[in-house]
Structure 1
């Protein structure tokens, strides 16, 4: 045992393996200090300071949230959550458990050293933990961006040895801890996603079993950016007999109506807006709907309990389906226009105004900046909408109607436990000053709640009149101009949708 725990020292005496590691650690530290690195004296100390308190990674995350797609924004949040976990672990457990002194810096050139030496203990490196935690969390959801950020994370970690504030083993331990934090967050996110797609209590519905997809027509909206080649390959593999029709956004409504009229079941690959158009066609034709999640958020598919395309393929082949409710808005007077439907949400007021501006500005400046600028514009210049609800005059910042009860708090309602409910989840944010505070207060409350600035209730039908001309409305992420009056109501168990048992 004693022989296993010791190695020969350079001066002939036995050295414990810990002593050997410490000697190697100091030797490598000194080698870095002695070596001249072109450009390093200008770049690495500044990079090390920029990463103090996670500011560098917070800035990167903010940029990705503002300028990135929805998937990139989610990846940035994973990175930020991983960084927070790693930082908390380092500062509450790591630093105070090992209590290793900082390196002596006699051999480190003064130009590299920080103006103020860190006062905390050395092991592990918090900067390295934060860098690799953010990198791991980001890469787990957006591998491409992970590859872009990786050199920056490695440089931050190396800068801690270069500036003389950490031993190499401090950096390696911090990096390992950061990777571990990122993996923990990835697992928690995956478990939350699985919980998010837990099936509700919807009633089973008869639907034709279509082995191999025979009799199924799947419409893919290529204009929405959801025609992922991997998804199309999976459809061809799992449902080789299905007809797949690709079309652009302008052709979508007509192609869906034509497909619904000639198939045993209508399939759709896309996000919530595309699924809404397909549901409308399926309702009119009286055929079941097969939803293949292909968008960024896929709210309806998740609340239905579909974890991916494989679930839908299995349900179609086996003939397993459920009945779900559908929200409807019908313009008045009767016959002036046909009804519209929503599977997720309907709204009047601040959100449709924000959505409309974001859609107009996004092609020029990108989705993230457009959403941010639209929110600022709406909060600064938007006025409450004056209308009549069930015969009573109201001034509202926002009227929201959900196809079923939304649970959870936050900027938007989170999820529905069932799509079989027979009532709408209706929420009003009353007009008045400070719209931001009013909207936030309503967002932080749940269903069936009430405050001085909002009310949340459940209704089967709501009559809305006196809508000012040009007032926008939004439904399932789509944007339109509201009619002077309309009726909101719920159609319970109106739509048959494939879902595995």
Structure 2
């Protein structure tokens, strides 16, 4: 403290004083998080994890640490007058809430994006040191706050494990033709997927200038439209391509699987879960794979639907579900007519949970009462409430999860277990991996949702894993 106070006066005094004030109540880190969130991928995930870690560190330091360890702050006269804060804090000196928040945010960002985290280290260190430089904390206060910050960032993994930024593994290499400039390729382009202001047409034309582009007709099912176009070309299509979100990708993938044509993928949706798991992050990835003729075989999920208006079959690349989720999708689409997508989704989820009705079913022949059932194409990780990635794309298994409705307060118990990340020990939540699942509804018909799209009504649903059903271009 004495050494810091004895430093000669420089322009850095004003910078550190302003920096210390800007970090009050975490305002500086909220601003940084907003900047990081403008870019998709690791930096956006880092911003979200950073905000969560900051909230935990701030609460721990200010609501737990300070009341438990009362300590007098340094005297104002300990540092030169130009450095002193106009409004000095009056709470306990130990630990430093500013240091806790800064360290938590920077560490959390680095866990998702080491490059972004490294770039923020000088800023975080400057905020932490500014508390000593302005004479409102002892160095040990800063050290204690830093330890709390690191612990808070690491603790976020309990609820939200750091996702390995690598594609899902598959041991099945597949034969696929080299597609020079997309000759003999039929590419489906959905301009309405993802960002409404971004049309992926230019990316598709850049990657495959000789490809024939097909745009979804709002009045026709895209599967029917694509099948008719392939038949019209009488065997002259050697590969399919798609630029769109997961719903569009699933539709085109189903036709690719049925016709045996390889599929090239340009992610152009909002979340692009399938493309992320496959390992195709952008147009250059897809272009390079087609030019090299490199492809892999991956599993697809399939559901046969009986009842309702007859029978039907749907493929899914990510997930399928029964219960609350299909109803939420239908309600979200209705609310979206007047509100933006994300607020509409949140409002739809709240309304659906409040009005949900339990399903009386036979699960593989056994009676059960459930709120909802989730079926993943492949085994997802983590096994808790929020499945986010597939380490492998060729397991030949479905990831089945459901929430029981036959136990008292099952929804409240589920929520508590989700918040504490103890779902694996909860009696209301079940998860297992299996190659097939048969569900028979005992109280009427329901709709199935596949890859976020609401499907037809049915009473009997037969879910199956189809190993290596899809050939997809990937380096």
Tell whether the structures are fold-level matches, with TM greater than 0.5.
yes
Aligned to 2:474: 499
Given candidates 203, 208, 213, the residue that maps to 2:177 is 208
Contact 2:316/2:450 (8 A) holds in 1: yes
Aligned to 1:77: 48
Q: CA deviation at 1:251?
A: 5.3
Do structure 1's residue 315 and structure 2's residue 289 form an aligned pair?
yes
SS of alignment partner, residue 359 of structure 1: helix
Do structure 1's residue 474 and structure 2's residue 449 form an aligned pair?
yes
Do structure 1's residue 240 and structure 2's residue 218 form an aligned pair?
no
Contact 1:196/1:303 (8 A) holds in 2: no
Given candidates 388, 402, 417, the residue that maps to 2:391 is 417
Q: 1:233 to 1:101 in 2, by over 3 A?
A: farther
Aligned to 1:386: 360
SS of alignment partner, residue 355 of structure 1: helix
Higher mean C-alpha deviation, range 124-133 or range 250-259:
124-133
Contact 1:442/1:454 (8 A) holds in 2: no
Matching of residues 55-134 of structure 1 within 5 Å: 74=45, 76-80=47-51, 83=54, 101=74, 103-104=76-77, 112-114=86-88, 116=90, 119-120=93-94, 126=99, 129=102
Q: 1:131 to 1:343 in 2, by over 3 A?
A: closer
Given candidates 250, 256, 261, the residue that maps to 1:282 is 256
Q: CA deviation at 1:125?
A: 5.8
Aligned to 2:226: 256
Contact 1:200/1:305 (8 A) holds in 2: no
CA distance in 1, matches of 2:402, 2:87: 58
Aligned to 2:371: 397
Larger Rg: 1
Aligned to 2:68: none
Contact 1:420/1:493 (8 A) holds in 2: yes
Aligned to 2:188: 219
Q: Supply the RMSD in Å over aligned alpha carbons.
A: 5.3
Q: CA deviation at 1:396?
A: 0.7
Matching of residues 304-453 of structure 1 within 5 Å: 304-332=278-306, 336-432=310-406, 433-440=408-415, 441=417, 444=421, 452-453=427-428
Contact 1:223/1:249 (8 A) holds in 2: no
Q: 1:455 to 1:130 in 2, by over 3 A?
A: closer
| TM-score (norm. length: structure 1) | 0.66
Mark the runs of 5 or more structure 1 residues left unpaired by the alignment. 1-17, 34-43, 93-98, 144-152
CA distance in 2, matches of 1:422, 1:121: 52
SS of alignment partner, residue 468 of structure 2: strand
Q: 1:79 to 1:451 in 2, by over 3 A?
A: closer
Contact 1:326/1:492 (8 A) holds in 2: yes
Higher mean C-alpha deviation, range 392-401 or range 365-374:
365-374
Q: 1:295 to 1:114 in 2, by over 3 A?
A: same
Contact 2:318/2:451 (8 A) holds in 1: yes
Q: CA deviation at 1:229?
A: 5.5
- Cα deviation, 1:450-470, whole Å, max 9, x if unaligned, reads 853233333333332235446
Q: 1:391 to 1:208 in 2, by over 3 A?
A: same
Mark the runs of 5 or more structure 2 residues left unpaired by the alignment. 66-71, 117-122
Q: Aligned pairs, how many?
A: 426
Contact 2:307/2:445 (8 A) holds in 1: no
SS of alignment partner, residue 472 of structure 2: strand
Contact 2:191/2:201 (8 A) holds in 1: no
- Cα deviation, 1:113-147, whole Å, max 9, x if unaligned, reads 2472662599x96499479959989xx99x9xxxx
Contact 1:438/1:454 (8 A) holds in 2: no
Q: CA deviation at 1:400?
A: 1.7
CA distance in 2, matches of 1:266, 1:103: 71
Q: CA deviation at 1:215?
A: 1.6
SS of alignment partner, residue 473 of structure 1: strand
SS of alignment partner, residue 394 of structure 2: coil
| TM-score (norm. length: structure 2) | 0.70
Contact 1:221/1:248 (8 A) holds in 2: no
Aligned to 1:146: none
Q: CA deviation at 1:227?
A: 7.4
